[in-house]
């Protein structure tokens, strides 16, 4: 597979790829309110370590059993672990630190910049042309994501936490693209398992070193049944399954178009936050519709 295969084509089942992206973002968004709850009792690196531990423990056996270990044995583990260590591990650490300094909805709306990063990567490395339709779609999608935030919060907190969340967007977008280009012979499940394992290695090493640098160790006494269940859902659902579906979408749509779906995440966070006492917002619904319109315009039929 060459990098050019990341540029979508009419024959790559866009309906299935879009459905995978929608499912990915919905499951991913579920992690934000859960992370807020976990951060209330645990330090950021500990939350990330637990998240990746559950994700890795779920993915590796499922992947191995899916084909009796054939892909597992022939995978380029060195390359996959390197990509995952930076893209998944680094991205997850930056994201959780950003959320610990802001909140779930703030972090979700900062992710609205991901399509810009994704399209930039495609223009630089995949030869994508920046068409008027694509620009309009990106602008509508980003505007919709920001409008969802405005409907919920009414202001932006552009501090260190926001900068960290923005950095996580760049790192994660690169990592998701590299997962496809650097591991062309693997299935989406294999790419997800290898790269998330790489992320786990980086985060576990950091968590091991932190107590020796006057950092926070994992406060096991604070982790009860509620925290374990939240961490399991956060890791298996919001990371493992979400990333698997996202890579399916990236392979079918390209990183630029796939990332446009992330702008609906603040709306999904609002829906899921209803369970934690949040209020319904019709203006947020209208803003989410703007995101959908942007995605549809950007994916409109191209000239031959």
> Mean of the pLDDT values across residues 131-159?
64
For residue 303, pLDDT beyond 50: no
Q: For residue 105, what pLDDT is reported? A: 64
Report residue 147's pLDDT band, with 50, 70 and 90 as the boundaries: low
Across the chain, what does the average pLDDT equal? 78
Q: What's the CA gap between 302 and 275, in Å, rounded?
A: 41
Name the percent of the chain lying above pLDDT 90: 23
Q: For residue 65, what pLDDT is reported? A: 94
Domain ranges of the chain: 31-298
> Mean of the pLDDT values across residues 68-86?
93
DSSP the chain: --GGGGS--TTS-HHHHHHHHHHHHHHHHHHHHHHHHHHTTS-HHHHHHHHHHHHHHHHHHHHHHHTTTHHHHHS-HHHHHHHHIIIIIIHHHHHHHHHHHS-HHHHHHHGGGHHHHHHHHHHHHT-----HHHHHHHHHHHHHHHHHHHHHTSS---SHHHHHHHHHHHHHHHHHHHHHHS-TTS-HHHHHHHHHHHHHHHHHHHHHHGGGGT-PPP-GGG--HHHHHHHHIIIIIIIIIHHHHHHHHHHHH-HHHHHHGGGGHHHHHHHHHGGGTPPP-HHHHHHHHHHHHHHHHHTSPPP-
For residue 273, pLDDT beyond 70: no
> Which structure tokens are listed for 24?
């990915």
Q: Answer with the residue of higher pLDDT: 85 or 137.
A: 85
Q: For residue 198, what pLDDT is reported? A: 95
Q: For residue 302, what pLDDT is reported? A: 42
Q: For residue 5, what pLDDT is reported? A: 39
Name the percent of the chain lying above pLDDT 70: 73
> Which structure tokens are listed for 148?
């969802």
For residue 301, pLDDT beyond 50: no
> Mean of the pLDDT values across residues 167-178?
87
Report residue 152's pLDDT band, with 50, 70 and 90 as the boundaries: low
At 205-234, the pLDDT tens digits run 988 888 777 667 788 888 999 999 999 999
Q: What's the CA gap between 300 and 69, in Å, rounded?
A: 40
Q: For residue 260, what pLDDT is reported? A: 74
> Mean of the pLDDT values across residues 160-169?
83
Q: Kindly report whether the global pTM for this prediction surpasses the value 0.85.
A: no
């Amino acid at each position: 597979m060459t990098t050019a295969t990341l540029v979508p084509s009419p024959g790559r089942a866009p309906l299935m790829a879009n459905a995978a992206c929608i499912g990915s973002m919905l499951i991913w968004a579920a992690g934000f309110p859960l992370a807020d709850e976990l951060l209330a009792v645990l330090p950021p690196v500990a939350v990330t370590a637990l998240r990746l531990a559950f994700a890795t423990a779920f993915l590796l056996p499922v992947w191995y059993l899916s084909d009796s270990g054939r892909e597992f044995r022939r995978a380029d583990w060195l390359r996959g672990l390197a990509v995952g260590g930076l893209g998944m591990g680094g991205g997850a650490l930056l994201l959780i630190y950003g959320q610990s300094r802001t909140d779930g909805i703030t972090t979700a709306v900062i992710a609205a910049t991901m399509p810009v990063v994704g399209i930039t990567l495609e223009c630089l490395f995949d030869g994508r042309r920046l068409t008027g339709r694509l620009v309009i779609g990106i602008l509508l999608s980003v505007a919709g994501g920001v409008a969802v935030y405005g409907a919920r919060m009414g202001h932006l907190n552009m501090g260190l936490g926001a900068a960290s969340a923005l950095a996580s967007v760049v790192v994660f977008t690169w990592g998701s693209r590299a997962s496809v280009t650097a591991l062309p012979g693997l299935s989406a499940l294999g790419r997800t398992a290898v790269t998330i394992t790489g992320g786990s290695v980086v985060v576990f090493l950091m968590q091991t070193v932190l107590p020796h640098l006057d950092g926070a160790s994992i406060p096991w006494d604070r982790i009860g049944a509620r925290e374990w269940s939240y961490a399991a859902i956060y890791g298996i659902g919001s990371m493992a399954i979400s990333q698997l579906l996202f890579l399916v979408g990236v392979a079918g749509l390209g990183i630029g178009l796939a990332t446009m779906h992330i702008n609906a995440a603040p709306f999904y966070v609002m829906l899921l936050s209803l369970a934690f006492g949040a209020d319904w917002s019709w203006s947020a619904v209208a803003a989410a519709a703007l995101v959908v319109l942007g995605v549809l315009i950007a994916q409109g039929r191209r000239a031959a």
